[in-house]
Amino acid sequence: MTDASNTMWGGRFASGPAAIMEEINASIPFDKKLYAQDIAGSKAHAAMLAETGIISAKDRDEIVHGLNTILSEIESGAFEFSRRLEDIHMNVESRLAALIGPAAGRLHTARSRNDQVAVDFRLWVKAESEKTVVALSRLIAAFLDRAEEHASTVMPGFTHLQTAQPVTFGHHCMAYVEMFARDRSRFADAIERMDECPLGAAALAGTGFAIDRAMTAKALGFREPTRNSIDSVSDRDFALEFMAAAAICATHLSRFAEELVIWSTPQFGFIRLSDAFSTGSSIMPQKRNPDAAELVRAKTGRINGSLIALLTVMKGLPLSYSKDMQEDKEAVFDAAETLELCLAAMTGMALDLTVDKAAMKRAAGAGYSTATDLADWLVREAGLPFREAHHVTGRAVAAAEAKGVPLSKLTLGELQAIHPAITGAVYSCLTVEKSAASRTSFGGAAPAQVKKQVRYWRKRLAKG
């Protein structure tokens, strides 16, 4: 394209951009996703311009009618997007001019593409954040169901991926409830901060027209208008916050995905995913691969990469707007779509998995996981200082290892040979069930505590 000018740029440019410039400059292939927000912002702006007497009611009605027509065309697939017109704003404006004539030119009074894209993008990210809060609520509810179901299902608790102390699968699930609840609160908090409308900031300095920014903010569902016109067009914190929250959330999803991968191996055998979330091997007929969990784990890197990409774009930009910011949307769109898919997949897997209680119980008793219970008993019942009790327990573990038996299979005589204060009552704390049930401190692994926390979080979710 070398002989036709882009009339939307006005008289400053004598000829159109070279093909390579058109290619690098156009954002319509991805920012067309903002069409609904762009049209909503334009309708609110037109209504405000008419209300303040800047344009006539007749112009407003023609503009709104034309915008509604464009919305229908886009949603039906009849609208033809043009790379030559660069972005969603110019595509809509050009079509509006074709539909209603000169009145279309009055729509851009007292605004710029800078505040137009800022409000479009903020509306989109706000709506996506609200969707994510709902998706996280569903995921939390799924974990609460499994936690309640398995409040007494004993399994090993791990540190360093080594058997540490017996817990319950319900207690383990509740750890993820806490994580995803924090994620939910991060998105909710971000919504509060992004709930300000930049429309009316114009290019960067505001406008001399007597506009009513509070009116457009309210019409678009924002709490209030932004308070500084320069910051309004240069701010992308709302996008960064969304992606930072998404990256943390994806990390939590990835941690559980990793556990699903490990637990579904024959070496662990704690859980089984159905065919809905597994695949087979093209060569090994016995294989059941937890591909859905593996893909959730992998997609975390994609979300992290999107966050770093936008942080890098923004890190050196002087105020106010720079074209660099055109690179904000693809990263956010991809992160949002990826997170939405991962949340849906993990919710499905949390509800789908089958727990092998017997395998979990066997593993819970391995590795002398009740050793701490023996040490605690020596402190509580025999009055030993904990460090001495720790030493005595270590000798008991060594004796059990030498015999190839669990602590509960050492005879009373063998235990008393290690320390004479030990009595037969010690056996009450050496089973994995008794061990888990004894952790009655607030937030502990005891089934009663797990059920208490389930009830608490159900009430929290019900309150929104």
DSSP 317: P
The three-class DSSP label of residue 54 is coil
Burial class (CB in 10 A: 0-12, 13-18, 19+), 428: exposed
**Is 160 an active-site residue?**
yes
Farthest CA pair distance, the chain: 101
Among 341, 331, 338, residue whose Cα is nearest residue 240: 331
CA–CA separation, 75 vs 80, rounded Å?
11
Cis-peptide, bond into residue 435, ω within 30° of zero: no
Cα distances (angstroms) measured from residue 267 to each of 72, 270, 311, 452: 56, 9, 42, 33
Q: Which of 56, 185, 281, 322 is catalytic?
A: 281
The angle formed by the CA atoms of residues 85, 196 and 66, to the nearest 5 degrees, is 40
Burial class (CB in 10 A: 0-12, 13-18, 19+), 73: middle
Q: What are phi and psi of 149, to 5 degrees?
A: -65, -35
The two beta strands, 224-225 and 271-272, are unpaired
Q: Which of 160, 229, 320, 441 is catalytic?
A: 160
**Is 129 an active-site residue?**
no
Q: Which residues contact 155 (CB under 8 A, 6 or more apart)?
A: 166, 167, 168, 169, 172, 270, 360, 361, 363, 364
Residues forming the active site = 160, 281
